Structure 1
């Protein structure tokens, strides 16, 4: 018996397979042709209906196949084969249904553009309390306000404050009134959107001090969160000034002092009470707050009564270390922490600890409800200098405001003319107390060196950027206030919240990247009712983008400065000499840094080599 059966190939099967494939292809071609003809006949039927929409037959006649009477033999064969091929039948019925129910036939009907759906703002955003931005005619005399504490009145008068600004006149009484209600009625949270220099800081400093001074204890009861160290130090200074003769103490947590010193300044351990707080009010940066919450023993916010977020939009955009999550987790109520469902009775209502009263302040507060939702505001009340409409698209809240005393302008020049133009403003036109903004620390340093070489003794120019440490920045600001420095070249690190007294001019040497940065830059001048001037230097290809940015903020009254090119041509010779000297100075600085870094790297090695050499000698 053979193990394997051998069938010889005679070639017939291959021919049969080829014949079958050709038959399948032929049938497929026929079906395609039949479908094309069916589609053509259906189109002819639609044309004969004079572009009218065919309505469905309510008696179920739409399920029947439409047959087309034709005198030609081709159409008869199509009708007969359509009965044999179910695909064509279903295709025809589906085409009929689509034509009767879903599609309009183009021709006699005009299509209208759908109206744009406008997003509706929450009630509290669209019904804000309007605040005047006129700082020239003040009507709120400090001595006549009965709701203001006598001690605070005396401090205000000693500081030369005799009239309150409009935002202070509106916000302070509202906060005091909310805390005069019974404890079961939680105070409404407050949001304030007002121009820079309009007195927002005193709007929360005065009411917090007046409410807390009647109940001095050993707990942290007010927390003020700010985005940068300089602004935190400035606000802490204001708090300490007005806490005089009140018994309240203020602590600063910003990283400006060592970690262990900050702990000693705010906490103390006792045998009877354990850890207690030395301060009642803490001013801090967001990142430093998280570090103390996680690592400082005894640091507690369980008795927090006020939570103030200054420059709220910047903190919203850049939440450092997710500080809001850690703070909420730390101050969470007992029943919330354990997820225990409490009984709703009078004892629960009267003994329930209220959340901290939130106060949000910014010159560019976002109207986006989604961003504001993260704060968990309780029945918030908005104070704004701009009228608010019901619609987010038409809302003027997103259109930022600046003081009436601020004059805004722009000037256009070529890139190589920018240093000449700046020198013309500072030296030839003798602008004094000027703050110049650039977009990088490197550019600020290079421009500072150039102006010091070029202007020599005529103007004293100093740099203020992140490249300097905190003490150096404070020294520069102090000298500027004392007029020992005439011009500060700065980056946007100084553009938010810092109060620079008597700043007459702000020059944006590099244009701002967005409308918020522009508002905060120009807000360094024209503060507290003083006259200010802001100038933005633009290249020709930056004009359109700058105008669009300004219009997005609701501003259109910025004028252009016209200058004579002949004035700049006279400065070219001196500029060429100054630029060469600047290059040498910067190269010397680079070489010095390289030399120091090499010495630092070689220092320990060279010492160890000397020790080995001495040991060998011994």
Structure 2
């Protein structure tokens, strides 16, 4: 506003000019006020009378104030400090707008009460399972519900005691199948740490009748092969036959192993138990003639959470559709209610879900279509900040967890210190990328040639190579592995991205009652996120390992040499790949010309 441009401090000779200048400014202001009054009157003519009166009064009050200012200037030529107290028009407009709308209720926002999660009774009240695998009290010989052949096989394998999960789950399953039709057995969900004996819980079941059929679904080929191997071992002295459908053999060869056509009975099954991956199972259901699941009694889903997060080809729909092939599915009508149809009806297969990180989300569990399920959980009860009691994830009692904080350039030095100075053997080291795993394996092999052997295992390798690495690691021909299934130590060279990945990583050690150690390597800016990750799984902070700087300083010379060797090896591998690619292109061009 021009009024406030006037300079407060003038010399005595300039007072007369100052008064004239102030008078000119006041005249300009009065002229602007009159123009503004006309503009407001025209723009507000279409509004209500109340708003027009308010605008009129506001303009008149401004004009009155300006007139009073002019009178003050006549009596006192320098009342500039008083002029600054004149209210601004904009402020008046804001006050008018604030009273235009009525505020309903109070103007204080109250925080809404948090809705507590209410779980189904079977999820909130599970049967507890102990994680202590050192003090076992369930002798194999004293269990009358175990088949005599299975008892002999267990004792030959050196298994004298059953683990807590086996002690509770197996008798429950057998008891459920003793009930006559039409009583259907309760489906079972088992949440227990890796290495706690879940696999044997669905392998060591008695031969219930002569029509026992079981289907075991796993997320990846390697796990399917391991489970099939255990099944074959414990079924070797029984009449049960086991088949693996995992993609390691051609489809037509697997078809010949599971079904056979006869002149008298048509298509018959060659196996009683099938261990498979979800994708391969769907292939057989769609393309294998004579393959049927209509007599299936057990449907076992191992690593259920991993399959639940990535249901391949909607395999569960295809399984249920194959089981229900009959009048109801073909005609879309329910069969007549009579004694014959009731007698012919067969119960749905008994579903058994096993996982170390079983979800407690009822919406996710709903997709399995479980019948009055029972939960067996080893996870402790966790009280969170919102007073909700939830069960999260459990780890073996024999497993110790630690973390190491270091800079990125010191991570190889810390790992080398564990392998050489601490003499760690059979170490499993996880990275977040196949390329990182390969570079780390090359570096460690160049660094510790005469002290340890390292091999990398990732999805970038073909299946025969992966199996060879696993075999060497099991036979202790390899001391350090990158992503292998069994070990004494687990090192997360790169921190896991979520709590489920962390639980599955550290679960590779401390299995079957053996002592294990898991260490996570973190950058300084990753410590907070890692603690939040542990908190999300109901776990407390893990202790930190301190590495003295002088220990790392003594490794720099050998580390630099190993780095030079690693660069040479990686460069030679790149050159070899480029040369092979060029040769393939030349062969392709020559064949095309021919």
Q: TM-score range by the shorter chain?
A: 0.7 to 0.9
**1:354 matched residue in structure 2:** 347
> Is 1:363 equivalent to 2:359 in the alignment?
no
Pair 390,120 (structure 1): closer, same or farther in 2 beyond 3 Å:
farther
Match of 2:105? Answer: 104
Counterpart in the other structure of 2:526: 542
Give the match for residue 169 of structure 1: 167
Corresponding residue for residue 210 of structure 2: 215
Q: Note if contact 1:265-1:278 (Cα within 8 Å) is conserved in structure 2.
A: yes
8 A contact 1:120–1:391 mirrored in 2: no
TM-superposition CA deviations, 1:180-227 (whole Å, max 9, x none) = 1102101100000001110000111112xx235x4058xxx2110000
Work out whether residues 431 and 505 of structure 1, in 8 Å CA contact, stay in contact via their aligned partners in 2.
yes
Task: Note if contact 2:124-2:390 (Cα within 8 Å) is conserved in structure 1.
Answer: no
Whether 1:282 and 2:306 are equivalent positions in the alignment is: no
CA distance in 1: counterparts of 2:474 and 2:44, whole angstroms: 91
In the alignment, the residues of structure 2 paired with residue 396 and residue 528 of structure 1 have an alpha-carbon distance, to the nearest angstrom, of 29
Superposition deviation, residue 351 in structure 1: 2.4
SS at match of 1:453: helix
Q: Distance in 2 between matches of 1:38 and 1:437?
A: 77
Q: 2:300 maps to which residue? A: 308
Correspondence for 1:183: 181
- Give 1:136-151 correspondences, 5 Å limit: 136-151=134-149
- The range that moved more, 383-392 or 557-566, is 383-392
Contact 1:201–1:235 under 8 Å retained in 2: yes
Q: Which position in structure 1 is the counterpart of 2:251?
A: 259
8 Å CA contact 2:130–2:164 kept in 1: the answer is: yes
1:8 aligned partner: none
- Quick check: 1:113 aligned with 2:111? yes
How far did 1:39 drift? 8.7
Distance in 2 between residues matched to 1:329 and 1:395, nearest whole Å: 39
Please name the residue that 2:558 is paired with.
Answer: 574
Structure 2 residue 323 is the aligned partner of structure 1 residue 331: yes
Deviations 1:307-328 (A, max 9, x none): 0000000000011111112222
Residues 473-504 of structure 1: per-residue CA shift (max 9 Å, x gap): 122111112111100022xxx5xxx4x2xx21
Matches within 5 A, 1:357-436: 357-387=350-380, 397-436=390-429
1:358–1:569: structure 2 CA closer, same or farther, 3 Å change rule?
A: same
Tell me: CA distance 1:510–1:389, structure 2 relative to 1, closer, same or farther (3 Å): closer
Deviation at 1:27, TM superposition (A): 7.7
Shift in CA distance, 388/336, structure 1 to aligned 2, threshold 3 Å:
farther
Residue pairs, 1:434-445, within 5 angstroms = 434-445=427-438
**Offset at residue 272 of structure 1 (A):** 1.8
1:246 aligns to 2:221 (yes or no): no
Q: Is the 8 A contact 1:188 1:381 kept in 2?
A: yes
Task: Note if 1:30 corresponds to 2:60.
Answer: no
Distance 1:39 1:319 in 2: 68
User: 433, 447, 471: which one pairs with 1:454?
Assistant: 447
Counterpart Cα distance in 2 of 1:38 and 1:172: 87
Q: 1:236 corresponds to which residue?
A: 228
Conserved? CA contact 1:366–1:398, under 8 Å: no
SS class of match (1:507): strand
Preserved contact between residue 187 and residue 372 of structure 2 (Cα < 8 Å): yes
- Any gaps of 5 or more consecutive residues in structure 2? 1-39, 56-98
| 590, 597, 617: which one aligns with 2:581 | 597
Partners in 1 of 2:381 and 2:452 — Cα distance? 45
Q: How big is the shift at 1:258?
A: 1.2
Q: In the TM superposition, what is the alpha-carbon distance from 1:245 to its structure 2 partner? A: 2.0
Q: How far is 1:452 from its partner?
A: 0.6
Give 1:29 deviation, angstroms: 2.1
TM-aligned CA deviation for residue 271 of structure 1: 1.7
Q: 1:112 to 1:598 in 2, by over 3 A?
A: closer
Distance, in Å, in 2 between the alignment partners of 1:378 and 1:421 is: 51
Task: Calculate the aligned-residue CA RMSD, in Å.
Answer: 2.6
Residue 562 of structure 1 is matched in structure 2 by 546
The answer to whether the 8 Å contact 2:117/2:388 transfers is: no
Structure 1 residue 302, shift from structure 2 partner: 1.2
The TM-score with structure 1 as length reference comes to 0.79
Secondary structure of the structure 2 residue equivalent to 1:533:
strand
Map 1:503-514; keep pairs closer than 5 Å.
503-514=487-498
Q: 1:33 to 1:519 in 2, by over 3 A?
A: same
CA contact (8 A) 1:188 1:379 kept: yes
Q: Distance in 2 between matches of 1:590 and 1:526?
A: 39
Question: Deviations 1:359-405 (Å, cap 9, x if unpaired)?
Answer: 00000000000000000000000000135589997666552110111
Conservation of the 8 A alpha-carbon contact between 1:406 and 1:525: yes
Task: Please tell me whether residue 477 in structure 1 is matched to residue 475 in structure 2.
Answer: no
Distance 2:381 2:406 in 1: 38
2:409 and 2:382 map into 1 onto residues whose CA distance is 45
In structure 1, C-alpha distance between the alignment counterparts of 2:572 and 2:445, rounded to whole Å: 16
38 and 608 in structure 1: CA distance in 2 versus 1, 3 angstrom threshold: closer
CA deviations over 1:567-612 (Å, ceiling 9, x no partner): 1111111111111111111111111111112212212433576xx6
CA distance in 2, matches of 1:326, 1:120: 32
TM superposition shift of 1:344: 3.7
- 2:396 counterpart SS class: coil
